[in-house]
Structure 1
Amino acid sequence: MFWYDHGMSGWGWAVMSFSMVLLVALAVTAVVLLLRSVDRFPAGPTRSPAAPSARQLLAERFARGEIDEEEYEQRLTTLRAHDPGRGRPGRGQS
């Protein structure tokens, strides 16, 4: 039954070669996409950045020129008065 003409023709070799190249390309693409997706996600839990403190916001406003030095000192004194455990005036804390 299979004694005659069971060899692969030229088209069979072409299709087999093309499908092999396609299979290897798909495998490489799958590995690359998998590695990229794993690399995007951090390994551990992430923390959101802490909100800036009132003193930091006040210092930023002063640095941008939104308030003058007198208003900055007045507001800084008010902040220190309402939060006595966070430092003393004149210690260089901002």
Structure 2
Amino acid sequence: MLGLIERIGKAGAALFDTTTSQGRLLSTLLAAMAEFQHHLIRERTGEGRKRTMATGVNFGRKPKLFDFQRKEALKRRTAGRRWPGSRRATPSTSA
């Protein structure tokens, strides 16, 4: 925030007078409060995430394949084969 206030001042505008001691104190206090609020938000969201995970909720996107499809894809990849509909080129030995 202090950098932003400084850039605004260099551009010729001002939110408040930062050339005085009081103005610098105000900008420092505002920056400290903004940082404090940022840390509070991170703590709260982290605690909420932990509580949610404790109830068994999984984060992230849903799987696109069913379990049997994933196992089959892994088996085919290990065997050097491709999944049907894949656009990648395959070796001539694959089916």
Q: Which has the higher helix share?
A: 1
* Same-fold call, TM cutoff 0.5: no
The higher-RCO structure (CA 8 Å, 6+ apart) is: 1
Q: Which structure: larger Rg?
A: 1
Bin of the TM-score, shorter chain as denominator length: 0.3 to 0.5
Instruction: Give TM-score, length-normalised by structure 2.
Output: 0.38
